[in-house]
Amino acid sequence: MTRGDFLGFGILGTIVGALLTIPPAAFVLGPVIDVNVRGESDVPDDWYRVGPIGEIPAKEPKVYVVEFPVNQVYSEEQVIEEGVETPGATIDNAVWTSWREEIGENGEAIHRIPSFVESGVQPPLTQEQIDEVTANLNVLSSSCAHLGCPVRWIVKEDGGEFLCPCHGGIYDINGGYVGGPPPRGMYSFTFEVREDANIYVKHEFDIGGDKGPQQPYVI
Ligand code: FES
């Protein structure tokens, strides 16, 4: 092989390598590179009312629908040039609420509904009552932790479970992973309970650990 042939093969190899590498790299980095072009959804950082704690049954979850306002901004350039915004737009999110379930010494399910809730909630709640409710409440996103399909509660003889209709992901009433493709349990909303005996959420997931709250990737 001559020196010219060697250099020619080298240049050809470089071109072919670039052709094979650039498209997947652009695909992966696309959301970072051109966020201005694609636009992004934006739910204001605020608290949104879910519903009253008094309506959550002792042994089953209750689903509430929360309307999160969305200020969809398509791109900075468009906003500046055309004033494109959608104020007043909302997106409905299903929020699953339930009392935490624990398994007793004999394998029986214990539902952690506070006694003052069972006997009828009388607002305003004391701080002690708010703390008790907060410690025993599940406030879960209906978006499956696999690819975001909305999960459903399926009643069974021995209680029930959340089932994802897309690929069969299964979770228990606390949102814990039971089976199927999801890599983890259901996501919990950042929530608080107030004196008026209602639950309020932010449009973010509290994923625990040291990672802090995360923006939902599916809304
Ligand atoms: S989206 Fe729920 S199991 Fe795949």
Which of 127, 124, 97 minimizes the C-alpha distance to 112?
A: 97
What is the pTM (predicted TM-score) of this model?
0.75
pLDDT for the residue 75: 52
For the beta carbon of residue 151, count every other beta carbon within 10 angstroms: 28
Residue 36: pLDDT over 90: no
Residue 148 lies in a domain: no
**77/128 same-domain check:** yes
**208/116 same-domain check:** yes
CA atoms lying within 13 Å on the CB side of residue 105: 0
Asked whether 179 lines ligand 1 (CB < 6 A), one says no
**65/91 same-domain check:** yes
For ligand 1, mutation pick of 152, 166, 171, 186 (most atoms within 8 Å of CB): 166
pLDDT for the residue 219: 39
Instruction: Give the whole-angstrom CA distance, residue 201 versus residue 182.
Output: 24
Residue 162: pLDDT over 70: yes
**52/27 same-domain check:** no
- Among 105-114, 159-168, 177-186, 191-200, which stretch is predicted with the lowest mean pLDDT? 105-114
Asked whether 218 lines ligand 1 (CB < 6 A), one says no
Number of domains making up the chain: 2
Residue 152 lies in a domain: no
Tell me which residue has its CA closest to atom 1 in ligand 1: 147
Q: Categorize the per-residue pLDDT at 19 as very low, low, confident or very high, splitting at 50, 70 and 90.
A: low
**110/20 same-domain check:** no
**59/28 same-domain check:** no
- Cα(49) to centroid of ligand 1, in Å? 27
**139/210 same-domain check:** yes
The number of the ligand 1 atom at minimal distance from the alpha carbon of 151 is 2
Cα distances from 15 to residues 3, 28, 143, 184, in angstroms, run 19, 21, 43, 42
Residue 89 lies in a domain: yes
Mean per-residue pLDDT, 23-41: 47
Residue 160 lies in a domain: no
**2/83 same-domain check:** no
Residue 30 lies in a domain: yes
Tens-digit pLDDT profile for residues 69-124: 877 655 555 554 555 555 567 888 999 999 999 999 988 889 999 999 999 999 99
Asked whether 146 lines ligand 1 (CB < 6 A), one says yes
Residue 105 lies in a domain: yes
Asked whether 182 lines ligand 1 (CB < 6 A), one says yes
Quote the DSSP letter at residue 71: -
The number of the ligand 1 atom at minimal distance from the alpha carbon of 168 is 3
The range of the structural domain enclosing residue 28 comes to: 1-40
**59/31 same-domain check:** no
Residue 193 lies in a domain: yes
Percent of the chain with pLDDT over 70: 71
Tens-digit pLDDT profile for residues 126-149: 999 999 999 999 999 999 999 999
pLDDT for the residue 35: 43
Which of 209, 103, 78 minimizes the C-alpha distance to 159?
A: 103
Asked whether 125 lines ligand 1 (CB < 6 A), one says no
Asked whether 117 lines ligand 1 (CB < 6 A), one says no
Within 100-136, strands assigned E span 101-103, 109-111
**46/92 same-domain check:** yes
**92/51 same-domain check:** yes
Tens-digit pLDDT profile for residues 147-157: 999 999 999 98
**130/116 same-domain check:** yes
Buried b (16+ CB within 10 A) or exposed e, 6-44: eeeeeeeeeeeeeeeeeeeeeeeeeeeeeeeeebebebe
Which of 99, 97, 102, 138 minimizes the C-alpha distance to 116?
A: 99
Looking at per-residue pLDDT, the higher value among 166 and 25 belongs to 166
Residue 124 lies in a domain: yes
Instruction: Give the whole-angstrom CA distance, residue 105 versus residue 108.
Output: 7
